[in-house]
Amino acid sequence: MSKVHVIGAGLAGLSAAVQLVQAGASVVLHEQAGHAGGRTRSFHDATLDAVIDNGNHLLLSGNTSALNFLTVIGARGRLTGPRGARFDFFDLETSDRWNVDLTRGPVPLWVLYKDRRVPGTNMTDYLKGLKLLTAGNRSVAALFGDQGQIYRRFWEPFSVAVLNTPADVAAARLLMPVIRETLAKGADASKPLIAKNGLSDSFVDPALNWLERHGAEIRFNARVDKIVRDDRKVTALASDTGMEIVGRDDGVVLAVPPWAAAALIDGVAMPNKFAPIVNVHFKLETAELPGMTSPLLGMVGSVSHWIFKRDNVVSVTISAADDLARLPNDEIAKTVWNEVRQAIGLDGSAQPPVRVIKERRATFVATPDQLARRPASRTDASNLALAGDWVDTGLPATIEGAIRSGELAAGTLRKLTA
């Protein structure tokens, strides 16, 4: 394999590019935007005069592909989080506060301790999680919806966060690989991790620097408009700057979102329904928040789902936010601030400066019919592989899934062209 064109510089494309360079290919990265990162990026916001992320992103220490990627690009130290596998929660309806604190090792001893598990739950509630093994096409609500507090305080928030899909339609089986790789391995694989100084600082800039240092060519404002092929191979890429020939031994990784891929390739089923995520960023006058002792706080019984804190900016995530995303930004900000000020312990405070970001197609919807549309990385063109969080990695549409899809695409091309 002499040269590989990677189309799309989101995390899937960056991961594929890094893998391919490591395998000895000469890589050209084509990105339509003026920056890399795609749905995982940071920018300076003028209203808040702060660098914020397009949306909060949570990883777990069992996300091995993401952590390996960061290690290779020299950015493993750019994630932070609480010392243990500890998740703090606040229930807005009852004002209860608690934390779930996992123990080490694959035997979930933490469920034996009342003060380490979700209040109002008992050990057998957790055993019922085994139903996931035979979930078939059932939704999270169909499996666990009748289980009281453990559903309301664990299964629903967990599944909405991981699948970005309402629990009454989300395919429960897609939680299984996540649990297998993280929670089921105990605390060491379940520590929450977030970007220390922003997503671009952790994932994107170090990857671009690494690729440049290793000879990759990176082209911004370089949208690929057409993939030209014969019946066996991709032969050229067309863009508004002209036609680029793809040589006989060259490869192509298509690492764009499904709505962009659908315009570039025919005959491949792919997810076509998406769900929004809304993020609301507030710049506070103080970084001292009595209600937040960790950089992450889960919310239950509220519109708000997760609060992230970086210095004096608190950012609130609402996933599967179809209804909320239809409201005007000032209304969203008001609703969310009214909840968040109680959670973070700034009860009487007026609403601080705010920025609302609606990512309307944050991820595909994780319903059984959409999962059935996920394609393999391999295509019928022998030098074309697909990457992206929507490709069938077996994982949900997450950073881990996107980075793993890049590994998969690089491996597919290596095999096909060997």
Ligand X SMILES: Cc1cc2nc3c(=O)[nH]c(=O)nc-3n(C[C@H](O)[C@H](O)[C@H](O)COP(=O)(O)OP(=O)(O)OC[C@H]3O[C@@H](n4cnc5c(N)ncnc54)[C@H](O)[C@@H]3O)c2cc1C
Q: Are 36 and 201 in contact (CB under 8 A)?
A: no
Say if residues 132 and 176 touch (Cβ distance below 8 Å).
Answer: yes
Task: Specify the stretch interacting with ligand X by CB under 6 A; choose among 170-178, 255-263, 326-334, 409-417.
Answer: 255-263
Give, as ranges, the residues between 203 and 242 that touch ligand X (CB under 6 A): 223-224
Residue nearest to ligand X as judged by C-beta position: 10
Residues facing 228 on adjacent strands: 236
For ligand X, the closer CB: 140 or 280: 280
Contact between 389 and ligand X per CB under 6 A: yes
Report the C-alpha gap between 321 and 336 in whole angstroms: 13
Is there binding between residue 138 and ligand X (CB under 6 A)?
no
Residue 352 lies near ligand X (rule: CB under 6 A): no
Which residues 6+ apart lie within 8 Å of 50 measured at CB? 44, 281, 283, 313
**Smallest gap, in angstroms, from Cβ of residue 263 to ligand X?**
7
Q: Considering only residues 139, 279, 377, 383, which one is a binding residue for ligand X as defined by CB under 6 A?
A: 279
Q: Does 271 bind ligand X (CB under 6 A)?
A: no
Amino acid occupying residue 359: E
Of 16 and 111, nearer to ligand X (C-beta) is 16
Among 172, 292, 324, 402, binds ligand X (CB under 6 A): 402
Other residues' Cβ atoms within 10 Å of the Cβ of residue 2: 12
- Look at strands 306-310 and 313-318 and give their pairing: antiparallel
The kind and range of the H/E element at 66 are helix 64-72
For helices 64-72 and 205-213, angle between their N-to-C axes, nearest 10 degrees = 50
144 vs 364, beta carbon nearer ligand X: 364
Q: What is the DSSP letter of 236?
A: E
Q: Residue 50 or residue 52: which is nearer to ligand X going by CB?
A: 52
**Of residues 34 and 348, the one with the C-beta less far from ligand X:** 34
Q: Kindly identify the residues of this chain, within the stretch 24-63, that bind ligand X according to CB under 6 A.
A: 30-33, 38-40, 54-55, 57-59
255 binds ligand X (CB under 6 A): yes
Minimum CB–partner distance for residue 405 and ligand X (Å): 7
Buried b (16+ CB within 10 A) or exposed e, 28-63: bbbbbeebbbbbbbbeebeebebbbbbbbbbbbbbb
Binders in 319-338 for ligand X, by CB under 6 A: none
| Total binding residues toward ligand X, as defined by CB under 6 A | 38
**Bridge partner list, 219:** 30
Residues at the contact surface with ligand X, assessed by CB under 6 A: 7-13, 30-33, 38-40, 54-55, 57-59, 223-224, 255-257, 260, 277, 279, 359, 362-363, 388-389, 397-402
